[in-house]
Amino acid sequence: MRAFTYQRAQSPAEAAAAAQRNPGARFIAGGTNLLDLMKLEIETPQHLIDVNGLALDKIEPTPGGGLRIGALVRNTDLAADQRVRRDYAVLSRALLAGASAQLRNKATTAGNLLQRTRCPYFYDTNQPCNKRQPGSGCSAIGGYSRNHAILGASESCIATHPSDMAVAMQLLDATVETVKADGVTRTIPIADFHRLPGNTPHIEHALMPGELITAVTLPKPLGGTHVYRKVRDRASYAFALVSVAAVVLPDGSGRVALGGVAHKPWRVPAADASMPQGAKAVAEQLLAGARPSAESAFKVPLIQRTLASVLADVKKG
Ligand SMILES: Cc1cc2nc3c(=O)[nH]c(=O)nc-3n(C[C@H](O)[C@H](O)[C@H](O)COP(=O)(O)OP(=O)(O)OC[C@H]3O[C@@H](n4cnc5c(N)ncnc54)[C@H](O)[C@@H]3O)c2cc1C
Ligand code: SF4
């Protein structure tokens, strides 16, 4: 691990000012992803700004009937919150499907959104990887690609986003609140937060350098039945091969989002609109333009079957 300096920030403004003074600094929250990346020298910040002292650990109702989740709310606390379990059950279920209890006790809302891909070549500094080292090539294309993207990928990168929570946030139309390094605040709709790889796979989200997430806001509850179904190689402590998040209303309308298939959680307006027509129609819309490799081709029927199973279970009640 490379040497770095460290400070504890006491307020979002202080964290933002520290980020402005130290270009290339990183915020550290639970540290469950960042520290691993630093040990492998994939991330080499010269300065760490510890944000755990910021009072961003509350879950509060919004005037619009939604919930404002502080950036530092731990995954365990968010999953267990009674309002989340009652009104945003898909979020609670997605969180509980992720990582392990110990990790969820440390992992934060902001850190979870910003966790980096699990592509094995990204973690292997002996291999070319455009995300880790822009311009070096993509080892997964033509290499091991079983866990990789089948939608929205590019010639530069076929990595997936590993977060379960982010899939539920996408489904719920969450909004990310931030403060920039110059102290100016802004809000970013979650649909615009994560990026597709294009020819700049190292740029993964809409944050500017030094921009701090302060909260994630959920709009008022949708009602209906909430499901998060994660399919993985072993029953726990594994990232999704694919996942399906869905909210189904009593009249059969609803929303659906996929995890494990793209560089960002995957949601398609036409798929939501075809919910009343059933799983086959929804899958057709979600998978339009899918370009799997020979190794990841199994994800197409896996999604079709998982969707069919999820929607059949909701019907059965
Ligand atoms: C073995 C293992 C298994 C896992 N399994 C799963 C799984 O199945 N599903 C899943 O979804 N996740 C899984 N995870 C990932 C885990 O959920 C993430 O590591 C965790 O959510 C990251 O949160 P953190 O607070 O620890 O982030 P950190 O590691 O502290 O930070 C991550 C990134 O976010 C940035 N950051 C943190 N807070 C802020 C902020 N407020 N504003 C701006 N930037 C910020 C940091 O600078 C860093 O770049 C697993 C992790 C491990 C180690
Ligand atoms: S898929 Fe993306 S992260 Fe993986 S090797 Fe290729 S460029 Fe790197």
Condensed to tens digits (0 to 9), the pLDDT of residues 61-77 reads 999 999 999 999 999 99
Give one DSSP letter per residue of 251-290, joined into a string: TS-EEEEEESSSSS-B--HHHHHTGGG-HHHHHHHHTTT-
> Which pLDDT value is given to residue 317?
79
Condensed to tens digits (0 to 9), the pLDDT of residues 103-154 reads 999 999 999 999 999 999 999 999 999 999 999 999 999 999 999 999 999 9
219 alpha carbon to ligand 1 midpoint, in Å? 24
Amino acid at 57: D
Condensed to tens digits (0 to 9), the pLDDT of residues 140-180 reads 999 999 999 999 999 999 999 999 999 999 999 999 999 99
Q: Which residues pair with 68 in a beta bridge?
A: 60, 217
| Residue 41 in this model has a pLDDT that exceeds 90 | yes
CA distances from 136 to 18, 131, 155 (A): 32, 9, 12
Best residue among 4, 34, 161 to mutate for probing ligand 1's pocket (most ligand atoms within 8 Å of CB) is: 34
Q: What is the mean pLDDT of residues 80-88?
A: 98
> Which pLDDT value is given to residue 168?
98
162 alpha carbon to ligand 1 midpoint, in Å? 10
Give yes or no for residue 212 CB within 6 A of ligand 1: yes
> Which pLDDT value is given to residue 181?
87
This prediction has a pTM of: 0.98
Instruction: Give backbone dihedrals phi and psi of 261, rounded to 5 degrees, phi first.
Output: -120, -10
Best residue among 4, 103, 236 to mutate for probing ligand 1's pocket (most ligand atoms within 8 Å of CB) is: 103
**Measured between alpha carbons, how far is 31 from 251 in angstroms, rounded to an integer?**
43
Q: What is the mean pLDDT of residues 182-190?
A: 95
Give yes or no for residue 243 CB within 6 A of ligand 1: no
Condensed to tens digits (0 to 9), the pLDDT of residues 276-307 reads 999 999 999 999 999 999 999 999 999 999 99
Per the prediction, the chain carries an average pLDDT of: 97
Q: Which residues pair with 188 in a beta bridge?
A: 176
3-state secondary structure of 246: strand
> Which pLDDT value is given to residue 316?
87
Condensed to tens digits (0 to 9), the pLDDT of residues 245-275 reads 999 999 999 999 999 999 999 999 999 999 9
